[in-house]
Chains A and B, each alone.
Chain A
Amino acid sequence: MIEFAGVSHAYPDAAGQATTVLREVSVRLTEHRIGVIGANGSGKSTFARMLNALVVPSVGSVRVDGLDTAREARAIRRRVGFCFTDPDAQIVMPTVQEDLAFSLRRRHLPKDEVARRVEAALDTYGLAAYRTQPAHLLSGGQKQLLALAAVLVTDPALVVMDEPTTLLDLANAVRVRERVRALAPQVVLVTHQLDLLDQFDRVLVFHEGRLVFDGAPADAVAHYRGLVLT
């Protein structure tokens, strides 16, 4: 379960003044698939980063499965996988197979268990044919699938995805969408592509740092359109 309690957050701007990017957000999320939408600068990416303790709130608390992100970042990151917009920033090893194994390095698993999990991930994400291929030679969609596989190979309880289809063409975006829909762990998906959220359980709408709507996908999308198009 995810719990935000009175969360606000401010960054210092270039002049040293505090710029508030998230204001008084309180929400409990227990559903399997949760969408997050909002205009650029609305606070949704900061919200997502707080789930992985990449950002710790200035005010209030964020708990994931009872763990406080401000005090238990290490435990949080073992439970929460994070998938970024640009897979090139997330893939740190030169080849596909090595990047998947890298995710498991800090788990101190036996070598044969690492190999078994890597093989399973290669098969599941259709990357087996590219196992020894340099990651930079993959297509955009394959890179994003690799980034997703590198997160999921660690069996996270929660997967947070920050605009994972923004850089992809239609075919690759559809491939990633199908994978996301089939994920077993709880998913929090930040996106500008509203059709990705069709079958989600709950969608949050952020506007100017505030959580302004929380409900079913169709209602949330209608609310969002009303905010930005009127």
Chain B
Amino acid sequence: MTVLATYVERDSPVHRLPAGAKLGGLVVIAALSVLVRHWWQTAALLVVVALLYAAAYIPWRAAAAQLRPVALLVAGIGVFQVFVAGWERAVLVCGGITALVALAALVSLTTRTDALVEVVVGLAGPLRRFGLDPERVGLLASLGIRSVPVLVGLAREVRDAQRARGAATRPVAFLAPLMVRSLRHADQVAEALAARGIDD
């Protein structure tokens, strides 16, 4: 199971769009979403998102997998909104969150990470005058994306080890070994980057 939207290779118009255009579009839609006032506008946005997924030839299972991590949160917010502000408001808020999460996932599903990193490197270009290397900013983005499944794996190992020893799952007992293992992993990654000549 993937824990993060990752590129799905297809020959579609959405895939062929430049990474910068997709990221820019996502930022613009996210900014404009705060102006939405009616539930039917959110419903229309959800339809557009669904059409974009269809145009990108993304299987519905992959699309649903992107929404699964936020499903409980959105459902909780929805129930709360129905009781406090009515069903129209619930559709407006929950539909907006769902549409933006789905759109962000669509960018990841249809864009290679190196293309996204190139955009990040380009955007970080002006930081050069402050002594920051844009390539390093891009590397940071790559490492961030790559680290998510690794840390999820480490967390599973810590949890399984505790269960195997019959230990109750307490936050400190879970977080302390996870932090130690994460720091050790970070040390190993730093050494591997040095070995690949990245700090030269």
Q: Which of A74, A95, A151 contacts B200 (CB 8 A)?
A: A74
Whether the Cβ atoms of A92 and B143 lie closer than 8 Å is yes
Contacting residues, chain B, for A206 (C-beta < 8 A): none
Contacting residues, chain A, for B191 (C-beta < 8 A): 54, 84, 89
Q: Which of B7, B9, B142, B197 contacts A92 (CB 8 A)?
A: B142
Q: Does A158 contact B (CB under 8 A)?
A: no
* A95-138 interface with B by 8 A CB criterion: 95, 98, 101-103, 105-106, 132, 134-137
Q: Mark B30-57, 1 if CB is under 8 A from A, else 0.
A: 0000000000000000000000000000
Whether the Cβ atoms of A137 and B2 lie closer than 8 Å is yes
Q: Which of A74, A89, A101 contacts B197 (CB 8 A)?
A: A74
Whether the Cβ atoms of B197 and A88 lie closer than 8 Å is no
* A115-173 interface with B by 8 A CB criterion: 132, 134-137, 150-151
- The tally of residues in B whose CB lies under 8 Å from a CB in A reads 30
Q: Which of A54, A93, A151 contacts B114 (CB 8 A)?
A: A93
Q: Does A196 contact B (CB under 8 A)?
A: no
Q: Does A23 contact B (CB under 8 A)?
A: no
The prevalent SS among residues of A at the interface is: helix
Chain A residues touching B, range: 20 to 34
Q: Give 8 closest A-B pairs by Cβ, nearest first.
A: A89-B188, A136-B149, A82-B195, A77-B197, A74-B200, A90-B192, A134-B6, A132-B9
10 contacts across the A-B interface (CB closer than 8 A)? A82-B192, A90-B195, A92-B146, A92-B189, A94-B6, A94-B7, A94-B113, A101-B114, A134-B4, A136-B150
Give 15 new A-B contacts, CB below 8 A, not counting A93-B142, A94-B7, A94-B145. Answer: A54-B194, A54-B195, A74-B200, A77-B200, A88-B150, A91-B146, A92-B189, A93-B114, A95-B6, A95-B7, A95-B113, A102-B114, A132-B9, A132-B112, A136-B146
